[in-house]
Structure 1
């Protein structure tokens, strides 16, 4: 019988789902648990997108730009607001980049230093709880700030909360999900992030609302998640690692629509993997990430997160209204453009959820890179070939359509898979630190891109930036082709074989283009053949 707190979700020892043989991705309790936990991604998504509109409200500019003395020229009002980088003062470009990027630096700090300790020692739920509390504190400071310096502090603290949530959430969903629906359930993080991005754009549409309202809205999903965590189960893997077998059994019974024998078998499989890892070393350390078969995973996980940011997605998200203003769309039309592109992201993530566990991670990423490259290159060509002066309304709306395609392409693969893939390739012993390095790389690159964009935009212009991003997107496709093995349908306990830490290769390694089978043999159990090392 599941723990009493789980009856909040309708669990029952007399549930009609007990013993019902259905596809595991339809497991009702897994969907409930992962879906509710993914509310934390709303908090993350709103924080990513609310900056674009709120930072361009006139009361925000009056307080921070003009009031802060960053542009004292007669045209200061227009210069602060303009999407044309050359019209903004260098000091204000730096201040905007610092305020926008402080969130990413806070997230990187939390994911590398704080989140691994909290997640390993106190559990995945505690990591999410802490993120909600720290994030709420940061929101409070940001909303009460009256100078650029205080705003930077508030967004840094907010970023630490976002980093804790974004670190713990993919790990939690991957550990409570069965392997054949793990990709889809972990992708809920990106789905809810996309919904949060849309919400962040919507709350910026009413121009009469003060600048601090969009910054305050993320408190709502943070509070909902904090309360909901009281009723969610802890990760069964983490419970087993703490030798809390009965609790792990109760949680797994609640989560699976399987026979007791199947549940017991899965539990034994997880426990066996944990014990083998613990027997290999009494304590884990950062040096474990340098071991054979592990450093390859670290490199792949870090590479995915870096290339995710080099697609330029957070330039579009954080500075979308400036982008559209340079295309001749001003005022509410620029905010509307940001809202429409966010809806394109929603369509992409819905398609991803139906394809990630059907076509695999590699194919989906390559498709995503193709769409991103085509859309961002087209945007650059339109921008540099358009007649001098403001674009015509027709070209402006064509640009919006192109950015909708860009957001769709990003959500189709690069939005979610850099979170899904690292959460499923590390062993329990290395997962916390491996995920910490991965998430830290994501937010560090995010900060570099967001902080650097206003200055780069000032020097070369936004449409030349598009061509730079197209080059990075092309490199991302090459990276996927060369370095990413397919993980679809492979149990977490079999990743050692895939990455060369074991002599037993999983079957998928020989069927996903990762190398031929051993000559003269088709047996997966044959251990005498040399294995592929990435």
Structure 2
């Protein structure tokens, strides 16, 4: 008996939408770990600075170490998931998260902490590659958007948990890192009872198992059979190599996947998340007030992401992005104006800074955050989907690393005002990119999107030839 059949037996009581939701929630715990472990450093830096000597450069290295690990993790995960399967790879991600959390909590020096967070980064990068792909390949097109976005909801929920955990624990940064073990163990145990991706199974020639999974996650045997037949139209190719991604007809998917990931970072959202408490203390807030204010932003991001997950399949990915980004640009412009000059913000305007900060976080993170991993999981063909998603994740983490390593230095060089205005300019460039190049994928099967690529009708205004 195969492992997939055994696993199906363990969850035989569930089928259809309830099983699909259970799959999405458990798998998305990888997003909670990603959000918690990346968000907690913004709070932990306040306690770390009291125990270790940290200048701006050292703070940036401590923060960026998890991102450097993510660059390695996201590239390595694609081939691993193509070979071992999506489910087993997700279990490995949970194991690495647990190991990295323990090592971070026990770090005796800054250098050991940097290396430990590099290990966490391996898991975080892997999670952004494998979890959205797994959910996208299991869920039906009508619900794919909201369920893949469950991953991002858990990311921002994890960030919010990180801020308030930091507030409760104060300067106890070791406990902040150690708590990441709990969801990591739940992810590993949860994935034990979930089925494998039917698309991955079919790509390995295991048609009977793929059909068994589809019958359990679709509303009727006829729909399961129809989807199996559609998947078979694109699954007869051998597993793609990295070289295959260089084929001209795949270039639009590479541009869109890597481009949307790039803009999610150079518009400043992770830089603001990582350094929000630092920015607010520079504005004149005390440490606790700064953490609470940043936590308020995290709550608003969580609410926005939840709303986005409910409407994304109806509104569409492209329209949702284009409707949210303008508000974040306005918030950045006003916040930059408030920070003009070297003196702390006038006390009467401090809460206007907080308002602009949380609005920016909600609209920017609530737009890119809702759509980035969803789009990356949708635009690549099945035979290179694992490797294509790795390229999208690599772009995300690569630009995240660049922004993280330069944010505090950039603020020191040109000032916070011009730094925020630069993020506003790149946000405007993102809107141009989305308008002309990002296709609408809502309501379309993954196989239909692949066919559009092959027929050179992928971009929004591209005509059928």
Residue 269 of structure 2 corresponds to residue 320 of structure 1: no
Partner of residue 481, structure 1: 435
The Cα shift of 1:246 comes to 2.1
| Match of residue 107, structure 1, among 45, 52, 70 | 70
| Match of residue 231, structure 1, among 155, 178, 193 | 193
| Match of residue 271, structure 1, among 208, 215, 232 | 232
Deviations 1:15-46 (A, max 9, x none): 8x7xxxxxxxxx22211211221111111110
Deviations 1:118-145 (A, max 9, x none): 1000001121111112222222222222
Counterpart of 1:42 in 2: which secondary structure?
Answer: helix
Tell me if the contact between 2:25 and 2:150 (Cα under 8 Å) persists in the aligned partners: yes
| Match of residue 380, structure 2, among 426, 432, 453 | 426
Q: Gaps (5+ residues) in structure 2?
A: none
| Match of residue 179, structure 2, among 191, 210, 217 | 217
Q: How does 1:87-102 map to 2 (within 5 A)?
A: 92-102=55-65
Tell me if the contact between 1:42 and 1:218 (Cα under 8 Å) persists in the aligned partners: no
- Distance in 1, matches of 2:80 and 2:142, equals 28
Partner of residue 383, structure 1: 339
The Cα shift of 1:147 comes to 2.1
Tell me if the contact between 1:485 and 1:498 (Cα under 8 Å) persists in the aligned partners: no
The Cα shift of 1:496 comes to 3.3
The Cα shift of 1:96 comes to 0.9
The Cα shift of 1:161 comes to 1.1
| Match of residue 19, structure 2, among 2, 9, 29 | 29
Partner of residue 398, structure 1: 352
- Distance in 1, matches of 2:438 and 2:170, equals 48
Tell me if the contact between 2:309 and 2:370 (Cα under 8 Å) persists in the aligned partners: no
Residue 261 of structure 2 corresponds to residue 305 of structure 1: yes
Partner of residue 52, structure 1: 42
Q: What count of residue pairs does the alignment treat as equivalent?
A: 462
Deviations 1:354-400 (A, max 9, x none): 22111211111111221211111111012117xx6333443111111
The Cα shift of 1:9 comes to 5.1
| Match of residue 49, structure 2, among 37, 56, 61 | 61
Which structure has the highest helix share of the two?
2
- Distance in 2, matches of 1:141 and 1:354, equals 37
- Distance in 2, matches of 1:150 and 1:124, equals 31
The Cα shift of 1:456 comes to 1.2
Structure 1 residues 365, 102: closer, same or farther in 2, change over 3 A?
Answer: same
Tell me if the contact between 1:9 and 1:32 (Cα under 8 Å) persists in the aligned partners: no
Deviations 1:190-209 (A, max 9, x none): 11111101100011103545
- Distance in 1, matches of 2:83 and 2:460, equals 39
Deviations 1:92-119 (A, max 9, x none): 211111110011110111111x201210
Structure number with larger C-alpha Rg: 1
- Distance in 2, matches of 1:332 and 1:394, equals 19
- Calculate the TM-score normalised by the size of structure 2: 0.95
Structure 1 residues 513, 62: closer, same or farther in 2, change over 3 A?
Answer: closer
- Distance in 1, matches of 2:224 and 2:240, equals 29
Partner of residue 524, structure 1: none
Partner of residue 365, structure 2: 411
Counterpart of 2:295 in 1: which secondary structure?
Answer: helix
Tell me if the contact between 1:51 and 1:100 (Cα under 8 Å) persists in the aligned partners: yes
Q: Gaps (5+ residues) in structure 1?
A: 18-26, 71-91, 517-529
Q: How does 1:512-527 map to 2 (within 5 A)?
A: 514-515=461-462
Tell me if the contact between 1:130 and 1:164 (Cα under 8 Å) persists in the aligned partners: no
The Cα shift of 1:210 comes to 1.4
Aligned-CA RMSD value:
2.0
The Cα shift of 1:7 comes to 6.1
Residue 329 of structure 2 corresponds to residue 373 of structure 1: yes
